[in-house]
Copies of this chain bind each other. A is one copy, B any other.
Amino acid sequence: MATIAKVVTQTKTEAVVESLARFVTEAKLQVSDRLPAERDLAIALGVSRPVLREALKRLEALGVIEPRPGSGTFLRTTLSPNHTHLVVQVDLERESLIQLLELRRALESEAAAMAAARAPDEAIANLGGLVDQLEDEFRRTGDNPESDKAFHMALYVLAENRLFWDVITPVWEQLETFWQYPLGKRDFAKRTLPLHRELYERIRARDPEGARKVVHRMFEIVEEDLRA
């Protein structure tokens, strides 16, 4: 069957976005570097300033740039013409704590398995240090929100998949607001404490399945505590 290509009209704003991506690449701009001033960019690209600004607003929405009034516009991520952006829309009102936890469980159990399978030895050793801190902070204060977060985030780094990190970060933030507001402090910290070291041991032993199971047990405790 002969297919007919859909007409792709390109608005000037879109063209400017692409030109900007090309410019950033060719100029070898790095993260936190400053872009030329809006007026200059508009002239260089041969478009009016409103159009240039609309393109910038689009990049801003995608988290690529950050304008600072009075100073300039700065790069927040890398950018090149062959980058694409994946947008997940989440209704935070409807999504309950349980659903967020289930998502985290899915990501974290897999991340733990991936870490066990391929993280470099030195990185795993660092994780061991985090376990020490975790236990230490708990001994001193009876809780360990700081080092707990550091430990779990380290897992995602060990998994060596940036997407996991990108997805879990906002999920984690959302969970933190839950712990603060509707729910008070929970006490699963104590019960899950030993599992952290156990998880570290499973990863160190290069045991993906074992690591996955430990993570599941952690979440069972949390969910159990939540129902209580």
Binding site for B on A (CB under 8 A): 13, 50, 53-55, 57-64, 77-78, 80, 82-95, 99-100, 102-103, 105-107, 109-111, 114, 161-164, 166-167, 170-171, 173-174, 177
Copy count, this protein chain: 2
> In the complex, what residue of chain B is closest to A103 when comparing beta carbons?
B163
Most chain B C-beta atoms within 10 Å of own C-beta, residue among A89, A164, A166: A89
Whether B84 pairs with A92 at a CB distance below 8 angstroms is: yes
- Taken together as a complex, chains A and B put the C-alpha atoms of A53 and B80 apart, in Å, by 25
Task: Determine chain A's interface SS by DSSP, over half rule.
Answer: helix
Whether B103 pairs with A164 at a CB distance below 8 angstroms is: yes
Enumerate 11 A-B pairs (CB-CB under 8 Å) in ascending A order. A50-B53, A84-B92, A86-B88, A86-B170, A87-B170, A88-B162, A88-B170, A99-B161, A102-B164, A103-B107, A106-B164
3 closest A-B pairs (Cβ-Cβ)?
A106-B110, A82-B93, A61-B61
Q: CB-CB < 8 A to A58: which residues of B?
A: 57-58, 60-61
Whether B99 pairs with A110 at a CB distance below 8 angstroms is: no
Whether A161 pairs with B84 at a CB distance below 8 angstroms is: no
Whether A105 pairs with B110 at a CB distance below 8 angstroms is: yes
- Taken together as a complex, chains A and B put the C-alpha atoms of A80 and B91 apart, in Å, by 8
